[in-house]
Structure formats: C-alpha cells, structure tokens
Amino acid sequence: MSKTKVMIIGSGNIGTDLMIKIRDTSERLEVAAVIGIDPDSEGLAMARESGFETSHEGIDGAERLAIWDDVQIVFDATSAAAHPRHNEACRKTGKQMVDLTPAAIGPYCVPVVNMTEHLGEPNVNMVTCGGQATIPIVHAVRRVSESVPFAEIVASVSSKSAGPGTRANIDEFTQTTARGIEIVGGAEHGKAIIILNPAEPPMLMRDTIYTLSLGADEKDIEESIADMIKDVQRYVPGYRLKQDVQFERFGIDRKLNIPGYGETAGLKTSVFLEVEGAGHFLPKYSGNLDIMTSAALGTGERIAELKYGVAA
C-alpha cells in the first residue's frame, strides 16, 4: 500500500525523534527526506543510514532534491524565525505543512481537542510542547463549565531536553502557549511559564495547570480531566497525573487575587502532570519533546487519511 511521502525540516532532537517515530511506527507516512543546516549533525547521519534523502543546505537544498516534487507533507522542526521561509516554499508548491515551531502562522492544532477542525488548512501549528501537555486539561475544565475566566500553566522540563531551537524560542513559547490556552483551551485569559530545570539526574517533564472556572462542580471537572488524560494516553502513554486533582472555592467574601488579572471568585482547580517520553530516540525524561512529536505524527497521519486518502 502506498504511503504519503513526508519531509522533515530540522535534524535536531525534535526532527530526529519524529523521523524515528514515522520510520518505525507509522502505517500511513513514509519519510522521503530530512533537511538540516549542519552537515555533521547526528540526525542527518541517522537519516542517511536509514536510506532517506538528506540535505544540509536548509530549504534551498530541499527544493533542489529530486524527491521534493513527490513530498506531500512537510514537518517543520526548526525555529519560529526560520518557519516563514519554509512556509512560503511549501505554499508555492501546494505542500501541506505541519509546524512544530511556535511561529503560529497556521491555526493551532491539539489532536485531542480540535484535530479535525483545521486539517484542510495548508499550515497547521502544533502550538508548543507545553501547550500540547496542558491545553487538553484546560479544555477538559472548560467543557463542563459555564466559563473559565483564567488559566495559567507552568511547564518544567529538564534543561538537557531543551536544545538550541527550544532555547531560541522561549519568548515565542510563552506567547504562543498563552494564546493556545485561550483559543483552543477555551480560557478567557491565559498565561504560560516555562522552567528549564538543571537537576541531575534529569527530571521528567512536569506541568502544573491552574484554572478558575464558573458553573461546574468538582466531580464533573475531575471526571472530565480523567477522560481527557485517557485520550492523550492513546498517543503519549507516559502522560499521567502526578497526584489527585485539587480544588479550592473562592466567593464574594473571600476572593482570589490573581496577579495581572485582579480579584475574582470561582472554583480554582489545580492539576499536576508528569510526562514520560516513549524513548524512541530521546531519553524518557524528554517527555516535553515526545508529546510534541507524537502530536505531530498523529496530525500528519490524520491529514494523510482525510486529505490524501491513505488508509492504515
């Protein structure tokens, strides 16, 4: 059975992990080429060993490859600054782009929340690793509430799992994640913080989500979060609660003061997550990268099925 040919731009940690995931697990996608800018990168070496076309001359080198015309989906695992040029090249030749950078040129896509809403778009954005881990929880609270006036997430990852691309995108990470919390998660106001933790041995990704909601009770929220975690675990088995969901009510006589937002009343929900990676290429503590590549893989496979008619 014919598979959809894909190209990965970016031969760093994220691009290499995605390459291995597609090579070893995908029934719909086939890696045609891997593109980088460092001729000595480990990712390009592994791609060559796997028999894939490669170029170390970026998007210009990609366009010169004979396989370029056969590629239907392009995954961008580079940086927010580089993405616009890659997007332009793909749009000119009608290629579908799945963006793993925080550039956010295309609409945000979080598979368990809005997988099918934007698959007809020429560019879909995977938000950020923190967004992929936390936006599902914000949405889980929002879908059983009248409203979520405020949501804040704190993503703490091992500094060893944050490569040059991640570090170059810190500002874009916080901005894009906060917007994703609002647009996809459904919060009226979103805030995002990332912490690179240098602890040894390296820690697993930890995510803390705080929401302030109106019009829902603890039981409904707890059940909605439990269902959402099961949904995410279908493609990220190491996604789990670190402890029980916690609740605290604030009323007119005891308001919650949120810095930068103000005093308000409602139900505060605190969710503490841990994300362990699958270990395809990256160490298992790099759950932050694993959830990103897993989400991108799932999105690419769904595009192949719906847009190009490739069945499993």
pTM for the whole structure = 0.93
Say whether 129 is catalytic.
yes
Q: Based on the fold, state whether residues 255 and 300 are members of the same structural domain.
A: no
User: In the predicted model, what is the mean pLDDT of residues 162-184?
Assistant: 89
Average pLDDT for the chain:
94
What residues pair up with 272 in beta bridges, in sequence order?
A: 208
The C-alpha atoms of residue 32 and residue 47 are separated, in whole angstroms, by 10
Query: Is pLDDT at 312 greater than 70 in this prediction?
Result: no
Do residues 194 and 170 make contact, with C-beta atoms less than 8 angstroms apart? yes
Q: Tokens representing 68? A: 């370029």
What is the tens place of the pLDDT at every residue in 59-89?
999 999 999 999 999 999 999 899 999 999 9
Query: Whole-angstrom Cα distance, residue 264 to residue 54?
Result: 55
- Pair (64, 114) in one structural domain: yes
If asked whether residues 13 and 89 sit together in one domain, one would say yes
Question: Are residues 115 and 188 both part of a single domain?
Answer: no
Residue 78, pLDDT score = 94
Q: Which of 299, 274, 272 is nearest to 286 (CA)?
A: 274
Residues 192, 303 within the same domain: no
Q: So what's the pLDDT on residue 81?
A: 92
Q: Which of 269, 287, 267 is nearest to 277 (CA)?
A: 287
Q: Are 227 and 112 in contact (CB under 8 A)?
A: no
> Residue 164 has what pLDDT?
79
Query: Is residue 179 scored above 70 in pLDDT?
Result: yes
- Other beta carbons within 10 angstroms of residue 39's beta carbon come to 12
* Confidence (pLDDT) at 6: 98
| Least confident residue range of 15-24, 27-36, 154-163 | 154-163
Local confidence band at 162 (pLDDT 50, 70, 90 cut-offs): confident
Same domain, residue pair 163 and 275: yes
Split at pLDDT 50, 70, 90, the class of 262 is: confident
Among 150, 143, 200, smallest CA distance to 178 is for 150
Same domain for 137 and 262, yes or no, is: yes
The count of structural domains within the chain is 2
User: What pLDDT score was predicted for residue 1?
Assistant: 60
Look up the domain containing 207 and give its range. 129-285
Measured distance CA(215)–CA(11) in Å, rounded? 47
State yes or no: pLDDT of 308 exceeds 80: no
Q: Say what angle helices 42-49 and 13-25 make with each other, to 10 degrees.
A: 20
Q: How many CA atoms lie within 13 A of 4 on its CB side?
A: 28
Q: Which helix (H) or strand (E) holds 20?
A: helix 13-25
- State yes or no: pLDDT of 155 exceeds 80: yes
Site of tokens 């000595």: 40
In this predicted structure, the answer to whether residue 143 has a pLDDT above a threshold of 90 is yes
Q: Under 8 Å CB-to-CB from 191, ≥6 apart: which residues?
A: 150, 151, 152, 153, 178, 181, 260
Q: Same domain for 274 and 165?
A: yes
Residue 200 pLDDT level (bands cut at 50, 70, 90) = very high
The pLDDT score that the predictor gives to residue 165 is 73
Nearest to 36 by CA among 18, 20, 60, 72: 60
**Measured distance CA(61)–CA(42) in Å, rounded:** 18
136 in the same domain as 277: yes
**Quick one: what percent of the chain has pLDDT higher than 70?**
99
**Residues 120 and 186 both lie in one domain:** no
The CATH number of residue 82's host domain is 3.40.50.720
Helices (H), 123-217: 129-142, 164-168, 170-183
157 and 202 inside one domain: yes
Q: Which among 80, 103, 126, 129 is annotated as catalytic?
A: 129
Q: Are residues 169 and 302 in the same domain?
A: no
**Mean pLDDT of all residues in 265-280:** 96
Q: pLDDT tier at 259 (50, 70, 90 boundaries)?
A: confident
CA distances (Å), origin 268, targets 7, 131, 151, 166? 43, 20, 9, 31
Rounded distance between C-alpha atoms, residue 232 and residue 22, angstroms: 19
CATH number at residue 261: 3.30.360.10
